[in-house]
Amino acid sequence: MRLVVFVSRRLALLAPVLIGVSIATFVLIRVLPGDPVLLIVPETATAQDIADTRERYGLDRPLVVQYLDYVAGIFRGDFGSSITTNRPIATDLAQRLPLTLELVVLALAIALVLAITGGLYAARHVGRWPDHVTRIGALIGNSLPEFWLGLVFILVLFQGLGIAPPPTGRIGTGFDVVRVTGFISIDAALSGNPAAFLSALHHLMLPVMTLALVITAPMLRSVRASAIETRDGDSFRCAEAHGLADRVLSRAYLVRQTLIRLPTLAAIIFGNLLGGSVLIEFVFSWQGLGQWALRGLLLRDYPVIQAFVLVTATAYVLVFLLADILQAALDPRVKV
Partner 1 sequence: MTPLLDIADLSVAIDGADGTVRALEKVALRVDAGEVVGLVGESGGGKSMIARTIVRLLPERSRVTGSVTLDGRDVLGLRDDDLRDHRGGGAALCFQAPRASLNPTRTVGRQVVDRLLAHDQATPEDARQRTVGLFTEVGLRDPDRQFDRFPHELSGGMCQRVMIALALACRPRLFIADEPTTGLDVTLTGEILKLIAAQAVPGERGVLIISHDLAAIARVCDRIAVLESGRMVETGPTVQVLGAPSHPYTRKLIAAVPDIARVREAMASPATANGDPVLSVSNLDVVYRARFGRHGLRAISDVSFNLHAGETLAIVGESGSGKSTLSRAIMGLLRPTAGRIVFEGTDLAHLARRDIRDLRKRMQMVFQDPIDALNPRMSVEQIVSDPLRLVKMPAHERRPRIEAALSEVGLEPKFLGRHRHELSGGQAQRVGIARALVLDPAMVVLDEPTSALDVTIQAQILDLIRQLTRRRDRAYIMVSHDLATVRALCDRVIVIADGRIAEQGETESLFTRPSSPVTEALLAAAPRLSPEALSMKKDAHVP
Interface residues with partner 1 (CB under 8 A) are 233-245, 248, 252-253, 256-257, 260, 330-333
DSSP letter for each residue of 258-304:
HHTTHHHHHHHHHHHHHHHTHHHHHHTT---HHHHHHHHHHTT-HHH
Work out how close the CB of 39 gets to partner 1 at its nearest, in angstroms, rounded to a whole number.
53
> Cβ of 191: how many Cβ atoms within 10 Å?
16
Closer by beta carbon to partner 1, 81 or else 222: 222
State in angstroms the smallest separation of the CB of 309 from partner 1.
35
Q: How far apart are CA 9 and CA 321, in angstroms?
A: 10
| DSSP 8-state code for residue 60 | T
Smallest distance from the beta carbon of 146 to partner 1, in angstroms?
Answer: 35
Per DSSP, the three-state class of 95 is helix
For partner 1, give the closer residue by CB, 41 or 260: 260
How far apart are CB 331 and partner 1 at their closest, in Å? 6
Q: 81 has which bridge partners?
A: 88
Closest to partner 1 by CB, 189 vs 254, is: 254
Three-state DSSP at 81 gives strand
Residue type, 211: L
CA-CA distance, 116 to 132, in Å (whole number)? 16
Write down the least CB distance from residue 237 to partner 1, Å. 6
Q: Which is nearer to partner 1, 214 or 227 (CB)?
A: 227
Closest CB to partner 1 among residues 132, 251 = 251
Q: How far apart are CA 310 and CA 314, in angstroms?
A: 6
> Considering beta carbons, is residue 56 or 237 the nearer one to partner 1?
237
Q: Compute the distance between CA of residue 80 and CA of residue 73 in angstroms, rounded to an integer.
A: 7
Least Å distance, CB 239 to partner 1, is 7
CB of 116 to partner 1, least distance (A): 16
Give the nearer residue to partner 1 in terms of CB position, either 153 or 236.
236
Distances (CA, A) of 216 to 115, 120, 268, 300: 6, 13, 13, 34
